[in-house]
Every structure is written in C-alpha cells, then in structure tokens.
A and B are shown apart, each in its own frame.
Chain A
C-alpha cells in the first residue's frame, strides 16, 4: 500500500510538470471576492459561468480562479500574477475590483479584462452587469398580488444604487397591483452574515410581513421564511433547497451565456471592449421556476410581465413616477434613462423611511 501511495505521489509530480507543457489556446482567469461556496450566492453564480466556459470550449480553453480576494491591493496583485502566468483574459467579478482592473489592464494591453458592475472602461477593459431590477418587477408583482397583510419585508445590504433600484422596482410593481402595499426595508450593512440576515427576516415577519425579499447573499432568510411559514424570494441563485415551500421564485444571476459568448469572441479575435447591461431578455437576470404555491392566474400574469419586459414593451420604471419627496421624476409614459438608474440614490414616492447616509 505504502509503495502505491509513494508511486502515485511521484507520478503526480511528473503530471504536474507535463501538464504545464500542453497549453490551451486561451487561458481565462476569474477572481472572486468571497469563497465560491457550494450552492448559492454571487460568487457561486460566477463560478457556474466559468464552468460553462470550460464545457463549451473543452480543451481550447483553460480556466482558473482565485477566491476570497480582498478588494484593493491584493486584487491588483492577483490579477497581475494571472496576467504574468499567461492568462489571456481575466474576469473580475466584484465592483470593488474596479481600480485594480484599470491599473493592471494598463500594464497588460494584450490581456482582455471583463469587470462586473463597474463603470470604468478602456480598450482592453469591458464592463458588464445585469438588470436585476427587471426581475425585481416580477417578484414585486407576485408579492403584491399574494400578500395577505399588504406588508412586504425587504432585507437590503448597503445603500448603493443597485440595491435602491431593486427596492424601487419591486415597490412600483407591487403598488401597481395592490395600492395598499407597504414596504418595510431593513438595512443590514453586510452582503453576507447568515445570523444577521436570519434576525432581519424574523423581525420583518414579526412586524407583519408575509413576503420576504432579500438583496443579500446568504440563504438564511429563506430558511427562516420556511420555518415561520411565510413566502420569500431567492437572490442570485435558486434557493429552493432552503425553502422548498417558502420560495415563490428566485432572481437568478446567470452569467454563463455572457461568459461563453465573450470567451468565444476572444477565441476568434472579435472581442471588443463594450459595456453590457443585459436583463431578462438574454436571461442574464433570470427568474427561476414559479412555485406551485403561486395561484395559476398570478403565475400567468407574472409570466406575461416577464415576457413584456423581456421584449421591451414594458419598462420597470415607466412614468408617472414621483420621487419620495413628492417631486416629479418621470412624466406619464416616460421611461427612466440608464444614467439615472445607474446612480439611483432616492426612493420613489410611497416608500416609507430614509435611505441611510
């Protein structure tokens, strides 16, 4: 037995050397801000995208990743080392990687960079993000139709445009079908703290919410919703495992098609720096299967809304909409421009409470 183990060690050693000789056409690196995890979450979804790339191109592409990379100096070092080790393309999957990406990209003009959710670009830095707010419209609609207490609980992470946009979008959709709707928003100031998210969910339920929405990464709130017998909407991944009855649907981050497409373009030489902000239409923001708990009729409405948003006939932010302070934002029929949406820092009229500053 010992000898076999020894031999296998020796052979591993050689495999290591040999494998570095055969190089793929394109080496693609990914950096994640958190550990990838196993089932759910922002980073997990990006890693699914990475696996899709591997599957799509087989031997032609080699991928690798570094997880739990702190934003800032460490990210810059990791990306530089990736570039040095022959990576041709690097996906940086967190907003905080923005300045490091720009710095590294300027030093490696031949390496293609893709930065998620940022707003700085250059010849070899493309940006991409998803219109998750379109998904929020759909869950807002379902919640507005299904709530018995007219109270929706919303677990928010940090007061950034992305999160505020989601709250507004869900609120408007819910308000459209239920004029009495009330949103209770709780800011937990973390993307990931299962215990705190669980507390937030409990609190909201105690305060009368019978629908829980979240813009945080852990599955704790879903578990609590299941336990307490209310409904909830998943975030980033399908969280059905954690709330088989509670989950009505999830907004899913599906990066796979985008990653496959961009790597494909890099392979055939047509890659260009672009800014992509895709929504339900190509399925970058997707809606998971509707639960059987949603009545047939509402399920159909939600599907129709989904299709209408995807086809562009309905925009999540269509006037008349006033800001929270009563000032006019969009006139009747007017739709929000992307610039305002990207920097959104106000609630729409009807939402109570203040955005923490």
Chain B
C-alpha cells in the first residue's frame, strides 16, 4: 500500500524536476498517438516543442509570439491564484475577460473618432472595472448569502457570452462593416490601439503588464501582510477570523483582483492581437488560465512557466499541423495528456510516498 505523508518543505529540486518528467511522459504517449495516426512521432514532437523555440525558420517570430499568447493566460492565472490560495473559487474568468473587453470597447468606441492619449488609459481602467464588476457579483452573493461562488461565477460566463453575441451584432456592430457582425477594429485608431512596442515582435502593453504583475504578485505573496493573510485564510479560515480577518473583505478582494486582471487581459487582447469585438472573441483564455494557475502551483513564477508551456503547445501545435498534417484534434488530445500528467505529478511534490505492506489498521478503507 502507498502511504502519503505531507511534506513540510517542498523540495526545490522536485518542484523543478517533476514538470520535466510529466513533459517526457507526454512526449512518449503523444509520440505513440502520432505514430498511430501515421505521422513521424519524432518529427511531430520536435515541431511542437523545439521548432518554435530554436529552429531557424520559426524561432525569431515564435518566441515573442509565445509570450503574447501566454500573457493573457498569465495575467488571468495570477489573479485566480490569489483566490485559489484562499480557497475562494472564481472559475468565471472567461466571463470577466469578456466583460472587461466589452466595457473597454464601449469606452473606446464612445470616443470614436476622437484622438486623445487619455482614451487608452481610460480603456485599461474600464477593462479592470468591467472584469471586477462581473467578478464582484459572485463575491457579494458569497459573502452575503454564502452562495456557492464556483457555480455563480460559472453561470455568469454563459450570460457574458450572450452579452458578447448581442453586442457584436447590436450596439457595437461596425457601422462601416457592410452589416457583418463585429465592432470596428480598435487597432486601426491610434487612441484605442494597443501598439506593437518592439518593431516586428508584436509585443504589446499586455505583455509588459503581465511581467509587472508577476513581479508584483511575487512581492505581494512573499513580503506583504496581505500574502500571509491570504495563506492563513486558505489554510485555517477559523484561525484567520480569530486573527481579526474579515471573511467578506477577503472574498471581495480576491474576486475583485482576479476579475480586474481577467478584465484587463480581455482589454489588452481586444485592443492588441484581436483588434475587434466579434461573436467568438473569447477563445477560452479564462478556462485555460485555471489550468495554468494549477500547473504553476499557484505560484507567480510557476504560473509564468506554465503559461509559456501552454502557449508553446498552441504555437507548436499549429506548426505541426501545417508542416506534418497532424489534425487539430490530435493536438487537443496531446494537450489533454500533458495536463493530465502535469496535474497528477504534483502529488509527488506535495507528499512523501512510502510503500508499506497492506495494513488494515492504518488504512481503514
């Protein structure tokens, strides 16, 4: 029988090595999958993991692209991780992402075609407020009525999706777009555009913002009182309340932080890479970020690497599609396997496993 003992201190070595082991497992299983599909497994794995980073053809372009693809994931996951640490479950980041984008689009388009350099910062603010507003709904319901926040935040995703569809064929529809759904391209107007900061790289303000956020959260969790409060609240809510921490305060704060970050991620995505509000503007960043938060073990640095890894599989997956003809579905399966292994292997980091003989006294079940 296997016995689990929680580790007092998580070993740095294990923390670093386990994800690599998981990736190797995935490569083996994924390789078998690609082989079954009649593709060269070595070539496929190389295209997914190596080429975007190192190949002469792709790396110059793909390296910054990985950062760009990862930045909304990292931003959202950072916000979520604060809540998750405190055992507060916001799984509606997808909806907050949409609302942030919608509100900032409304602001940007309300001023159209005015040129003013304050519009963009106002839109950033709008994105944060929009996301936070959508996140505060479950927070208030949770703190007021103890309503399950997981479910409310999930329901609000569906509502946000409908609002998005409604806006893109309704109030935000581009009047010069020949009747097609979708807003004006915000990237085409200097005041509302989230420009490329380094020529040719595509790096935009969102990427910078996500770097700042990593640094900020790292500091917050390590050195600030708030970091300890969160941890205390998550580990021992009762002790936290004895220590004078107000439950409502923590819940509201966690939700607003995660909502604001998801919202601002939506805003940067809208004004930068996406350009316009469309019916399917959201491509699942909010949900993928939940996985990223856990892959990163709720740690800012971990989240950074997890976000990059996810982004790498997207970018590499596309390359392998057109270079090798691997179907998109196989890439999905491959990503699924990667997540399974990464999530499961965490066990070794958190617990010490020891093998004992079956012992009915120590193990009642």
Contacts and interface: CB of A to CB of B under 8 A. Distances in A.
User: Are A and B in contact, CB atoms below 8 Å, in the complex?
Assistant: yes
Interface of A: 9, 12-13, 15-16, 29, 35, 64-74, 76-78, 80-82, 84-87, 95-96, 99, 119, 158-161, 164, 189, 342-345, 356-357
A64 B286 CA distance: 31
Interface stretch (B91-99, B227-235, B270-278, B343-351): B270-278
A74 to B, nearest CB: 7
Contacts of B178: 119, 161, 342-343
Nearest to B329: A35
A173 to B, nearest CB: 22
Given A159-B169, A161-B179, A13 B58 contact: no
A12 B41 contact: yes
B274 A73 contact: yes
B42 A96 contact: no
Interface stretch (B61-69, B81-89, B124-132): B61-69
B57 to A, nearest CB: 6
A317 to B, nearest CB: 16
Given A12-B42, A119-B178, A81 B318 contact: yes
Chain B interface residue bracket vs A: 35 or more
A77 B42 contact: no
Contacts of A78: 318, 322
A interface majority secondary structure: mixed
Nearest to B56: A84
A343 B180 CA distance: 8
Interface string B175-190: 0001111100101000
B43 A160 contact: no
18 contacts: A12-B43, A64-B323, A65-B322, A66-B321, A67-B327, A71-B278, A72-B281, A72-B283, A73-B68, A74-B283, A77-B69, A77-B315, A78-B322, A81-B62, A84-B58, A158-B181, A159-B169, A160-B181
Nearest to A339: B178
B169 A356 contact: yes
Contacts of A357: 169-170
Interface in B313-336: 314-315, 318-319, 321-325, 327-329
B321 A15 contact: no
A329 to B, nearest CB: 16
A34 B331 CA distance: 14
Given A72-B278, A99-B185, 7 more contacts: A15-B40, A16-B324, A67-B327, A81-B318, A86-B57, A95-B180, A160-B181
Contacts of A84: 57-58, 61
B310 to A, nearest CB: 13
Most buried by A among B40, B272, B275, B280: B40
A13 B43 contact: yes
Contacts of A85: 57-58, 319, 322-323
A341 B18 CA distance: 60
Contacts, number: 112
B240 to A, nearest CB: 41
Interface in B223-248: none
B58 A72 contact: no
Contacts of B42: 9, 12-13, 16
Contacts of A345: 179
A132 to B, nearest CB: 16
B140 interface: no
A356 B168 CA distance: 12
Contact of B65 (A9, A69, A77, A161): A77
Nearest to A31: B322
A343 B179 contact: yes
Contacts of A69: 318
Nearest to A346: B179
A335 to B, nearest CB: 20
A66 B322 contact: yes
B179 A29 contact: no
Contacts of B181: 158-160
Contacts of B62: 81
A-B pairs with the 10 shortest C-beta distances? A73-B273, A16-B43, A64-B322, A12-B40, A72-B274, A68-B328, A66-B321, A70-B283, A16-B40, A343-B178
A25 B178 CA distance: 38
Given A70-B280, A158-B169, A64 B61 contact: no
B279 interface: yes
Contacts of B276: 72, 99
Contacts of B269: 73
A71 B322 contact: no
A149 B328 CA distance: 45
A15 B44 CA distance: 13
Nearest to B283: A70
A175 B240 CA distance: 74
B180 A160 contact: yes
B253 interface: no
B58 A81 contact: yes
Contacts of B185: 99
Contacts of A68: 328
B35 interface: yes
A77 B278 contact: no
B213 interface: no
